[in-house]
Amino acid sequence: MKESMYRRIYSVVNMIPPGRVATYGQIARIAGGCSARNVGYAMSSVSQESDVPWHRVINSRGRISVRSSGEACTAQDRILESEGVVFSTSGSVDLERFGWTGPLPDGVSGD
C-alpha cells in the first residue's frame, strides 16, 4: 500500500520542471489518497541515487521545511537556486512566480 502511494507521489514530483516548485499539499491533491505529511515522508525516503527531484517540493509558505533532525536542508536551497529559483531575504520562494501549476489534462507538465 505505502509503495503504491509513494509511486504515485514520485510520479507527480517527476513532472515538476526545473526552476519550479510545488507544495507538499499540492502533490498530495494531485497524487490522491494521501496527505501532505505522506508526501513529506515520501520525499525523505528518496535515495541519493534516485532521479526524483525531491528538492522541488516545499511547504505551503514557500519555505524549505526543517528536517526531522531540526536542521535546515542547505542542499535543497542550493539545488533550487542552481535551477533559477530565487529566495527572498526571509528565505521564502514566491509561489506565484516559481510555483508549478500542475499537470495539464493530457498529462503534460504545465509551467
Q: pLDDT tens for residues 8-29?
A: 999 999 999 999 999 999 999 9
Q: Is the pTM of the predicted complex or chain greater than 0.75?
A: yes
Q: Is the pLDDT at 107 greater than 70, yes or no?
A: no
Cell of 69: 533532525
- Topology of 2-100 in CATH? Arc Repressor Mutant, subunit A (1.10.10)
DSSP state of 91: S
Where do the domains of the chain lie? 2-100
Q: Is the pLDDT at 38 greater than 80, yes or no?
A: yes
CA distance 23 to 40: 10
Q: pLDDT tens for residues 39-94?
A: 999 999 998 789 999 999 999 999 998 766 656 667 899 999 999 999 999 999 99
